[in-house]
């Protein structure tokens, strides 16, 4: 079992190596998954993503703010069964506050420069997931948890 320092380093490396996550939301008990481009803050406390306000994921978040994001290292090769890692970030999503918006846009567009115009659109919402905890899985059975917020 890894110590907290090593687990944090492992999580950071996985977040840095991947650009997309599967966002899981729900509304009235009905689950919904969608692919999102994300950026993580240096302290791992927040994950940022963007969507238009007309999407189902946005409506679901307004209705129920608890979400999960899954980030993984799979390559669709047989070796994934022994080598792939998955990270689930559990937390609460909300639209980025005005006083944080500039810093979050800078972080997000540095990671995804092709989305700069999309994020600047008035129909786009920049969202932040305040991560409560991460669950890191490797070899399908080795699960470790890193608590971020109490």
Q: What is the pLDDT of residues 45-104, one digit of tens each?
A: 999 999 999 999 999 999 999 999 999 999 888 888 888 999 999 999 999 999 999 999
Q: Output the pTM of the full model.
A: 0.94
- Partners of 46 in the β-ladder: 130
Residue 96 near residue 127 (C-beta atoms within 8 A): yes
Average pLDDT over residues 126-149: 93
Of 78 and 122, the one with more pLDDT? 122
Q: How far apart are CA 145 and CA 7, in angstroms?
A: 8
Q: How far apart are CA 131 and CA 80, in angstroms?
A: 26
End-to-end CA distance of the chain: 22
Q: What is the per-residue pLDDT across 10-55, written as a single tens digit (0 to 9) for each? A: 999 999 999 999 999 999 999 999 999 999 999 999 999 999 999 9
% pLDDT > 70, the chain: 99
Q: Which of 94, 92, 93, 110 is nearest to 102 (CA)?
A: 110
Residue 92 near residue 132 (C-beta atoms within 8 A): yes
Question: Token match 């998954």: residue?
Answer: 33
Predicted local distance difference test score (pLDDT) of residue 91: 98
**Does residue 132 carry a pLDDT above 70?**
yes
Predicted local distance difference test score (pLDDT) of residue 66: 98
Q: How confident is the model at residue 2 (pLDDT cuts 50, 70, 90)?
A: low
Predicted local distance difference test score (pLDDT) of residue 122: 95
Fold of the domain spanning 4-147: Pnp Oxidase; Chain A (2.30.110)
């Amino acid at each position: 079992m890894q110590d907290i320092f090593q687990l944090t380093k492992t999580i950071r490396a996985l977040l840095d190596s991947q650009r997309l996550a599967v966002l899981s939301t729900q509304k009235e008990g009905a689950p919904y998954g969608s692919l999102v481009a994300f950026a993580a803050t240096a302290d791992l406390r927040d994950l940022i993503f963007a969507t238009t306000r007309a999407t189902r994921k946005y409506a679901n978040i307004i209705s129920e703010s608890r979400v999960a994001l899954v980030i993984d290292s799979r390559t669709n090769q047989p070796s994934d069964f022994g080598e792939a890692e998955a990270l689930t970030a559990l937390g609460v999503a909300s639209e980025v506050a005005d006083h944080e918006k500039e810093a979050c846009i800078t972080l997000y567009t540095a990671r995804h420069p092709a989305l700069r115009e999309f994020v600047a659109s008035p129909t786009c919402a920049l969202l932040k997931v305040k991560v409560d905890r991460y669950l890191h899985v490797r070899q399908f059975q080795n699960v470790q948890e890193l608590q971020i917020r109490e």
